[in-house]
Amino acid sequence: MNVFISWSKDKSRETASSLRELIKGCLAPINVWTSHVDMEAGTKWYFEIENHLEKASVGIVCITAENLSSPWLLFEAGAMLKAKNLIPYLVGISTDKLPGPLKQYQVCTADRDGTLKLLKALDLANGSVIEKEILETRFDTFWPTADHRINGAMHNNINKIQYPLGVEGIFKNRSDGYDWFVQYLRAEAESQGPNKRLWIIGSSLQGFDVGGANRYTIFDAIEKVRTPQCLRVLLTDPDISHYREKPEEKGKGQIEQEILASLKKLMETYKVPTDCIKLYGGTPTVSAIATSTHMLLNPYPYGIPAHKCFSLIVKKTSDDSDIYNQYIEAHFEKGWKYGKPLAMPLKMGNEQHKDKPEFLPQEPDPLDTTFGAWADIACDDRVYNNRHVLLAQQVK
């Protein structure tokens, strides 16, 4: 389903941006279009707007005190009268202030109840694909940020404070953070730019491959980004995965099987080249996904399952020391540098590897003592004994 959001003047434009992000976070299957965000440079703007007006099933008009008599807003509203649903979204004004033609439509106000009513109306128009409880949970997560941007709901002094270092959002668990991050993930997968990027770090990919039929998973993005220039997947080496079993509340060998299943799905189902995948001899202290503009970070202590811990979404800024750039350099670049490439095909037939996919990690350079930015578990003699012997010789 296509939704067109109309705006005019500054406050209405900010409202349109906030609504767009809120809808994408709560109702991912719905396509939302607003001119100042989605129109590409160089397009013939009038025809582009007219085209999206024609395609829209639902039109939302963001109305504020400063644009009540805007000719352009009234033009777009008039064009959207042909849509199946037209919803005036009122920011700080009452219904009696509405221009004549819009008074006949049921409005939604820019408070919590009115905005939730708007989202439920959109879901209903789209065939009620999101369960009520899930929609309300997502809304409770995303509404405070939208409320702050639309209504300035926080105290005036706090309004003047901007999130430092590129922090865009803080979420109580990984699932909530991922649901909001999907808008950036999808945009990156669909983009055609030269700096396209999808870099992923995790013990396995299971945590980003869950949800109902309408949830956009990490593999939906990977399917569109499968070149070594754009895609990097760095997973925990299955041989040391047992270190995370107790903190993750997993049974013996379960994480190893999750990693192997992720690798098999990457290579066999999605035909991802082995150059895009590496294994690391440690477990990450932060699961992460990076696009060219944003990053999802899921840090966690050793004693708690990762999916239960808070998540951050950060954006790339002009500051080279922001969180995005810190993690690109220390977590992604160094982790990838010291990860072990995959060797294809497997030509061994011993018992130890009979149930594993047809690949083995290549051994890293045993003389390389700089082992990356993850939690190093190279002290496991059972796995890295040869490396220890050589390192011991170096020390002597």
* pLDDT class of 210 with cuts at 50, 70, 90: low
- What whole-number distance in Å separates Cα of residue 365 and Cα of residue 8? 60
Give one DSSP letter per residue of 206-243, joined into a string. Answer: GGGS-S-TTS--HHHHHTT--STTTEEEEEE-GGGGGG
Q: Are 262 and 269 in contact (CB under 8 A)?
A: no
| Local structure of residue 30 (DSSP, 8 states) | S
Phi, psi torsion values for 70, nearest 5 degrees: -65, 120
pLDDT at position 120: 94
Decide: 282 and 378 in contact? Cβ < 8 Å: yes
CA angle 312, 175, 111 (to 5 degrees): 80
Cβ of 249: how many Cβ atoms within 10 Å?
11
Confidence (pLDDT) at 39: 66
Give the CA distances from residue 214 to residues 29, 138, 224, 315, 323, in Å, rounded to whole numbers and listed in that order: 6, 15, 17, 26, 31
Grade residue 71 by pLDDT with cuts at 50, 70 and 90: confident
With a pLDDT cut of 90, the percent of the chain lying above it is 26
Residue labelled with tokens 């699961």: 287
CB 352 within 8 A of CB 338: no
Closest CA to 374 of 252, 234, 261, 167: 234
CA distance 267 to 271: 5
In this structure, of 2-11, 84-93, 101-110, 368-377, the range with the lowest mean pLDDT score is 368-377
* Total residues belonging to the chain: 396
First to last CA, the chain: 68
Q: Which of 269, 366, 378, 249 is nearest to 309 (CA)?
A: 249
pLDDT > 80? residue 42: no
How do the domains of the chain map onto residue ranges? 2-161, 167-390
167-390: which CATH architecture?
Answer: 2-Layer Sandwich (3.30)
Query: ω before 299 within 30° of 0 (cis)?
Result: no
- Mark residue 360 as left, alpha or beta (left: phi above 0; alpha: psi -120 to 50; beta: remaining): beta
Q: Who contacts 303 (Cβ-Cβ below 8 Å, separation ≥6)?
A: 247
* Residue-level pLDDT at 76: 65
Tens of pLDDT, residue by residue over 293-336, are 999 999 887 777 777 888 999 999 988 889 999 999 999 999 99
- On the 0-12 / 13-18 / 19+ scale of CB atoms within 10 A, 360 is middle
User: Which residues lie across from 199 on neighbouring strands?
Assistant: 232, 290
Distance in angstroms (rounded) separating the CA atoms of residues 283 and 299 = 12
> Domain 2-161: what homologous superfamily?
Toll/interleukin-1 receptor homology (TIR) domain (3.40.50.10140)
| Phi, psi of 227, rounded to the nearest 5 degrees | -115, 150
- Other C-beta atoms lying within 10 Å of the C-beta of residue 345: 9
CA 304 to CA 120: how far, in whole Å? Answer: 34
pLDDT digits (tens, 9 = 90+) for 222-262: 999 988 899 999 998 988 888 777 777 788 888 889 899 99
DSSP 68: T
Contacts of 382 (CB under 8 A, 6+ apart): none
Is there a contact between 177 and 169 (Cβ–Cβ < 8 Å)? yes
pLDDT at res. 108? 93
- At residue 278, the pLDDT reads 94
